[in-house]
Structure 1
Amino acid sequence: MNFTPRDDEEVDGPAVAYVNPWTELNLGLWMLFAGATLFLMLRLYVKVTRRHGLWYDDYILTASWMLLLANNALIVHEFATGYVLKDTTESWDDRMHILINISSCGTLIGQAWTKTAFGVTLLRISNQWQQWVLWFCIVTMNLYMVLKVFFQWAKVCDKESYDVWYRLNFCIGWQFRDSFKEGGNVYNIIMDFIFATFPWLITRGLEMRRVEKIGLCATMSLGMIVAIVSAIRIAWKDNGNERDAYYIWRNGVSQVWYSSEITGTIIVQCIPILRPIVQSFHTSLTSKKLGSTTDAQSTTWLSKFSGNRVSTGVNNNGTAMLADERGLGGDNNTNNDRVELRDIPEEPAESWREVPTSSWPLDDAKYEPEPLPHSDSWALPGGESRSGRSLDVEQDRGSHSSIGFDVEPVREQGLSPPPRRLAQ
């Protein structure tokens, strides 16, 4: 069956009013176009921002998208300005026939260009013999498209309605014309299957993990879906299109089917390029999730080892001391201000080293530093302490921690050396 209307068909019986497919046509065409636009813009965005640059396949896809936009606008214009006849007694004028031929040629070119773009993409990652096969497919597919466009404007022998001024001055048989057009549709489906299976041949010799190979091939082989859709469309067309009330409606729906082949080919070629965006989104989502749970995890991770929470206070001498939340540690007889470990300012790196005793003031000469305990877990290499302040803690209630977190105690030896004691 051919969905291109013919005026020479005889209609028996009374006139039948046609159903207008205006709503279904616009929803189908523009929703598919919106999806193709979104994926193509994301593809170009990744190519530009990642500084990979645009290549021939990107330009071909962009040209196909522009052709798709113009063709959709032309089809909508046709259905708005006379394509939908009132009933079976009316027919199209020359203007409408010219617009129908132009939109049909636009569909043929769009089908060939989108598949050509995918073939050009495969050329970049294929070896020599694979490139010869791809070039054969690309050239023959485009030659078939040119011939179909050429025959679209030819006259049909023994058909008076096709012997008009706007057609080329030669004629072809009606049966040959239909067979050639259907053969082109079948050849497009074969090309979809070939291009969809090519990534499996190309990645077979690559040094990649099997999971990565399967993922890459699966995304690049989504064109198989387009081939299946095209096959369903051809089978649906073969059911016939009688001149009943839904004759025009089926013609409008067929335009959506043809557009789905073009938009689907654009989308499946853009999906493998969008991996950086998916990775960036996953990283951002993970970072937000970790940020919202960091405080809770940092205070509860060591709760398995102890039921006490450690905080710190500052005594009258300015020395930090640890105490648990239940008030079991520290000096309760003094007026202490309780602060968290995160609130203790960290001294600059210049103060990490011990000050020589020769440079001490005279009134502090009676103080001598005491060697660090062997088991001090906060000591730096060489027995030096990171902070000038010492943490006074009970001998049986130590803690491994870091500044900035309120953590649970671990029953080991104290965190830091005892304070300097008065020389005798």
Structure 2
Amino acid sequence: MKNVLANRVKTLTPSSTLAITAKAKALKEQGIDVIGLGAGEPDFNTPQNILHAATESMEKGYTKYTPAGGLPVLKQAIIDKLQRDNSLAYQPNEVIVGVGAKHILYTLFQVILNDGDEVIIPIPYWVSYPEQVKLAGGVPVYVEGSREQDYKITADQLRAAITEKTKAVIINSPSNPSGMIYSREELAELAAVAQEKDILIVSDEIYEKLVYNGIEHFSIAQLSDAVKARTIVVNGVAKSHSMTGWRIGYAAGDAAIIKAMTDLASHSTSNATTTAQYATVEAYNGSQDAVEEMRQAFESRLEKIYPQVSAIPGFRVLKPQGAFYLLPDVAEAMAHTGYDSVDAFAADILTEANVAVIPGSGFGTPTTMRLSYATSLELLEEAVRRIDAFVKSKWQD
């Protein structure tokens, strides 16, 4: 039989987060007591008012196709949210609703990139950014935000990475996997370079509502009308409202880009699930009490679990400011336990300590691991105890 696979998929790297989660699930099905710190989703159910709105929409017969770019009532709810929370003003033709923020990003890269166009991706990065850029014919250009820089890149680094082929830079704040947040001043410096070099800014703000210790999220698009004009804001309800499975995300930005994304959606997904769209209208227009309750729960877990993870031998951890991940650098731990690969280290933690963690190789940081604290404190503390025992049992001076 002929080679049936397209070249574009032959270089894809499978999602490390989904791979670890699948392996952990398989072990659980064998009766093994595995604690999962891998998947990036809240452990709370979707708030009751949102569930009720979804049921009510179905009972009213709102189960048909919607416009490819999203329900007008949902677009308006998103516009109102952006004005209320971020002081950003958009028109309906500057907003698209899609099948999750992940697919929104995929669609965006498909419509802005030609073969050979470069996209600057700060390290550490969310695992899907490079693959989505490559699928659109683009070239990922990596810029390291080192641990010493709080896993953030500087304006000088951005400027040095830009070439004639650079089309965009991705800013993910709060960050997956580091949980770090760019300050207004840092964003202003990056934006100045983007304006100077005339490149787009892709601002992934999916963890916007999960910020801690008095730190506030600030969108780079808020800096000025000029910065807003070159920024595509990407967000959704997956993390903020515990709606990961509902698959609703959106983009807001330049009308021509949004139209192109909508045209592409009309030939791919048609529309995001109608019921999920009506649920999201309630998510944005209804009470936000549950959002704050979840945020407080994550903050409480962070405060309790951070010092415990920091105490594991050979683990060096920056305290995150947002999201729900810890990203310890485990180079010292690996060196003292006989590992030269974080993938092997994480694999043995899963099979021997029965804790699922994500190796940092998938984020461009091959000496780190990502631990999600989106689970109960009881399970978190037990997971840390197991990892601590695993490391100590293998430690060699």
Give TM class, smaller chain: under 0.3
TM-score (norm 1): 0.22
Q: Which has the higher contact order (CA 8 A, sep 6+)?
A: 2
Q: Which has the larger radius of gyration?
A: 1
Which structure's residues are more often strand, by fraction? 2
